[in-house]
Each structure stands twice: as structure tokens, then as C-alpha cells.
Amino acid sequence: MHTRITVAAGVIRREDGRVLVARRPRGKHMAGAWEFPGGKVRQGETPRRTLDRELHEELGISVRRSTELMHYEQEYPDRLVVLHFFAVEDYDGRPGGREGQELRWEFPENLGGMGFLPADRPLVELLIQQTASLKEKSAR
């Protein structure tokens, strides 16, 4: 029997197209792996509400507007993770690592080789595909 965990995370983009990623700190499950900022949904909380709470706690920002990009399940040997990823379209504040985590702004095409959590890899692939498609359209 797997432990079931529901998670909400955000894709925060800068105007130059880079996205914000965080490295999991020591002491956390899968420490050292890269991920999109977010966290576990608490009992009675919606994924959208979790996004607001977690991004405020982790980064010090307040989400004003977001849209769910995708959701899916990732099975690990000891747990089933249900993921909800949101595009953060508007926020107040300046993102900073409030929990001691390393943060980086990276272009989506650079994310593939960074060592992301397995659960985040489908989102990484989606962002890479979207970026390639946008570049292809602008080249025409």
C-alpha cells in the first residue's frame, strides 16, 4: 500500500522566458534534486490554495493569478504523488529562497540535464516542447 501525497507547484516565468527552479535542501526526500517550487496539499485544502500558501512560505511571493497547466500521478516505490502544476501568471513580491533552498532562473531548454525529480520531468518536457514551438513560430 502506497502513501498518497498530493502536491501543488508553480511555474514562474520571467519576461526573458526563464523559469524559476529550486534545489531540494538537505534533510528532505530526494535532497539535491531540482524541482518547481510548491508543496504538499493539506487536508481540506485545494491545490490552488496550496500553491498560494507554499509559494508565500518558500519564496515570499503572493500569487495573484494562475492557471493549471497539467496534473498527473507519479508512482515511487514507497508513495504515489498526485501533482498539480500551475502557470503563475501574476504575483506580488520578489522570489527568494526563504527555506535556504538554492534558486535558479533557467531557460526551459536547459532544464533537461539538471537532475529534476522524476515527478517533475513530464512538466520539464512540456516546457521544452512549448519553448521549441514558440521559437519555431517566431522564426517563420
What is the model's pLDDT at position 132? 80
52 exposure class (CB count in 10 Å sphere: 0-12, 13-18, 19+): buried
**Mean pLDDT for the chain overall:** 92
What is the model's pLDDT at position 65? 97
Is residue 1 scored above 70 in pLDDT? no
57-102 tens-digit pLDDT: 999 999 999 999 999 999 888 889 999 999 999 999 999 999 889 9
